[in-house]
C-alpha cells in the first residue's frame, strides 16, 4: 500500500483547519443546542423568560 506524502505546507494547513474547527465546535455547540430548543419548542418561550432565571 503506497504512503501518501504530504508537504509541510499541506500538513500546516490541515493542522490549522483542525484547530479552527475544534474551537468552533467547542464554543458553538451549546448555543446551537439552545437555539434549536428555542426554535423547535411549542409554545415558544419569550426572550425575557429564556434569559432571566427568575421570570
pLDDT of residue 22: 97
Q: How confident is the model at residue 55 (pLDDT cuts 50, 70, 90)?
A: low
Which three cell numbers mark 17?
483547519
| H or E element at residue 41 | none
Q: How confident is the model at residue 11 (pLDDT cuts 50, 70, 90)?
A: very high
Output the pTM of the full model. Answer: 0.57
What is d(CA 18, CA 12) in angstroms, rounded to the nearest whole number?
Answer: 10
DSSP code for 47:
H
In this predicted model, what pLDDT tens digit does every residue of 14-51 receive, in sequence order?
A: 999 999 999 999 999 998 998 888 888 888 777 777 77
| H or E element at residue 10 | helix 8-40
C-alpha 33: how far from chain center: 10
pLDDT of residue 27: 95
Amino acid at each position: 500500500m503506497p504512503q501518501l506524502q504530504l508537504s509541510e505546507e499541506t500538513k500546516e494547513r490541515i493542522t490549522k483547519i483542525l484547530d479552527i474547527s475544534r474551537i468552533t465546535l467547542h464554543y458553538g455547540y451549546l448555543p446551537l443546542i439552545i437555539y434549536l430548543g428555542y426554535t423547535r419548542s411549542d409554545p415558544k418561550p419569550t426572550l425575557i423568560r429564556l434569559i432571566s432565571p427568575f421570570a
